[in-house]
Structure 1
Amino acid sequence: MDKLSTRVKLADVARMAGVSASTVSRVLSQPEVVAEATRIAVMDAVAATGYRMNHAASNLRRGRTGSVVALVPNLGNPFFAKILDGMGRELAAAGYGLLVADTLEGQGRDAAVARFLDPSRADGIILMDGLVPLASLTGPDLPPVITACEWIEGAALPRVMLDNRDGGRMAMQHLLGLGHRHIGVIGGPAANVLHIARLTGATEAAGDARLTVFAGDFSLQAGQAAAQAWLALPATQRPSAVFAFSDEMACAFVATLTRAGLSVPRDVSVIGFDDIELVSHIAPALTTIRQPKRDLGRLAARVLLNRIEGHEVAPLTLVSPILMLRETTAPPAAT
């Protein structure tokens, strides 16, 4: 079958589908401009004949590399795995390969971005690091660039992202609904756009509740440090609940308190953000705000593909957060 499929030509597909070869070509390269019935007939013929499009030759004719680059601020963070999986699947279906680079390796963010701003290296870039300087994204003949997850204030780049402000509001409303009135927040770097958006939503929802902010950077180490700071407070001044802006910080916070002989949620409620795969399997399972990560990755890839093809795209594509109720939040203990 494999040997047979290599001999199948575009004309064979066209003959089976009852259309012209140019129509088959349009279906395979720009399916959105072809009527649904025609598209279905062509794809059925592709499946029946085993036709395989020569993407390398197609890219050469169009002056394309056939590759898209995702620039990630920390590849060691498990948060990105499902997002990249969603991107990769969507891009592969369109005949593109996904390359991934870490903006924190080597010479830093400027150098990481500069390596891929040449159209001969990549047909487009999905930038997932909001701390890349805007000046790094200027110059002639740049490939299409969009931002995903994080974004750069002031940059006229399409954004695909979670509604982080709503996620912050949702987490705070959950804790308030349980009866907590003194709530700790473990944030991210002060200039980070995710930190700002989540803190804005949380603060808006908090009303007259008392907030205590612990420094953070989304890492395990920051969660541990926040727990040590929480433990150092007099018992009467400790927040009865803590909202961590990442699941990694939330998990480290819970683990540090557990080693100190305390219990979550009996002694303090904890809610995280992201819903990385680990947190539903630990004990106690973490209450958190879910980012639909594969959906976000697929949407980001789709927006970039439209930009590569020269189509207009929305300046902002928002994905809605979801509250995942598990075992680390409960009403405050009676005093």
Structure 2
Amino acid sequence: MVTMRDVAERASVSVTTVSHVINETRPVSDELRERVLTAMQELGYQPNLLARGLRRGETHTLGMITPDSANPFFAEVTRGVEDTSFEQGYSVILCNSDGDLEKELVYANVLAEKRVDGILFVAAGVSTEHILALQAQRMPLVVVDRDIPDVAVDSVLTDNAQGGRLATHHLIELGHRRIGCITGPSDVTPSADRVTGYRQALEEGSIPVDEALIIKGGFQYESGYRAARQLLAMDDAPTAIFACNDLMAVGAIRAALELGRQVPADLSIVGFDDVRLASFANPPLTTIAQPKYEMGVVAATMLLERMRDPDILPRRRVLDTSLLLRQSTAPAGASAS
């Protein structure tokens, strides 16, 4: 293993001079600097960047905690974070909490102990107390796709209620009146806000909210499949379903087909997220698109800004959603015509 002493001998300088060149701790003449850099290249010397960063109080690493790294929505957000961080010279340590609060808190503590320069919580269920504890350590934080009430913390999310309204309004405009809703696993954002938008759209369309049509899911294919079968088993089954994410919508399509319902002729289905899978579903899925990659870019940018200036006021960025029409929705009664 090549050491600084080897570099010093090759460059005919002191070890101290090599250290100053590597760590930029003292001015060194251009001639000596060139000799040291040439020796490093010839010997293949790799400086200990972590040790150098720790001496400066930084490691050029960021931590990112997501509830499900296999979910394509989080994968696309993560890509935006990683691309932006890499461009600025930072590496990202990705942790998967499986939606488990205890595991999430363990990872947060591990990241803090590893001296990461900042942490992004994506759709986290992290407690208010834990956020405050990290802030007390002066750890820069950004929360993505989640509101943490009564905590002054940087956050980035989409207008989930807007998305729920757009999805439900679209189905109402197609003539549907019995509209099922498959929710996410939580009563907090983003799932709750999407259901709020669903309720608002029904009220605006003078359609009574039937609580029996609101089924709790888990943001996974299987939960969408089970919830759709439950909805379609009703005597007065819905003619349309708003699933609060695309994975559950794909599960609902399978359930409908197994029960002999054609999508969209017999049953219209709208998803949420617009993951890449949505355009390849059969039929291609009408969905609410949210700017996943942009969320990651904005979150990483906000974290880097917070790291540079810890005293700036907390910021909250809300990004718009949009309705993306494909082939999984049709006018009510389309099969009869």
Q: Same fold (TM over 0.5)?
A: yes
**What's the counterpart of residue 268 of structure 2?**
269
How big is each residue's C-alpha offset from its partner over 1:271-313, in whole Å with a ceiling of 9 and x where there is no partner? 0000111110121000000111111110000000000001625
SS in 2 for 1:115: helix
Rg larger for: 2
Normalising by structure 2, we get a TM-score of: 0.78
Say whether 1:135 aligns with 2:129: yes
How far the C-alpha of 1:151 sits from its partner, in A, is 3.0
TM-score by length of 1: 0.78
Q: 1:251 to 1:203 in 2, by over 3 A?
A: same
- Asked if the contact 1:130–1:193 (Cα under 8 Å) also holds between the matched residues in 2, the reply is no
Task: Note the alpha carbon deviations across 1:83-127, whole angstroms, 9 max, x for none.
Answer: 111111111111111111012388523222222234x52100010
What does residue 325 of structure 1 align with? 325
Task: Note the 1:1-335 alignment, pairs <5 A.
Answer: 56=49, 59-60=53-54, 62-104=56-98, 108-118=103-113, 120-139=114-133, 140-207=136-203, 208-211=206-209, 212-234=213-235, 237-310=236-309, 312=312, 315-333=315-333
Structure 1 position 174, deviation (Å): 1.0
Q: Deviations over 1:59-97 (max 9, x none)?
A: 455310100111001112111111111111111111111
Q: Percent identity?
A: 32
One-letter code aligned to 1:226 = A
The alignment partner of 1:116 has SS state of helix
The answer to whether the 8 Å contact 1:128/1:150 transfers is: yes
Equivalent residue number for residue 5 of structure 1: none
- Residue type of the alignment partner of 2:78: L
The 1:62–1:292 alpha-carbon spacing in structure 2 relative to 1, beyond 3 Å, is same
Stretches of structure 2 that go unaligned for 5 or more consecutive residues are 1-23, 25-46
Q: What runs of 5+ residues in structure 1 fail to find an aligned partner?
A: 1-24, 26-53
Residues 145, 189 of structure 2: 8 Å contact kept: no
Mapped to 2, the partners of 1:306 and 1:70 lie a distance apart of 16
Alignment coverage as a number of residue pairs: 280
The answer to whether the Cα contact below 8 Å between 1:250 and 1:271 also exists between their aligned partners in 2 is yes
Counterpart Cα distance in 1 of 2:140 and 2:302: 10
Q: Give CA deviations for 1:185-227 in whole Å, capped at 9, x if unaligned.
A: 0001242311111111221121222442011121112101112
The letter for the 2-side match of 1:155 is V
Structure 2 CA distance for aligned equivalents of residues 231 and 203 of structure 1: 20
Q: Displaced runs of 4+ in structure 1, greater than 4 A?
A: none
What whole-Å deviation, never above 9, does each CA across 1:249-281 have from its counterpart, x for those lacking one?
Answer: 000000111122210111111000001111101
Are the structure 2 counterparts of residues 77 and 315 from structure 1 closer, same or farther at C-alpha, using a change threshold of 3 Å?
same
Matched residue type, 1:162 = T
What value does the CA root-mean-square deviation take over the aligned residues? 2.2
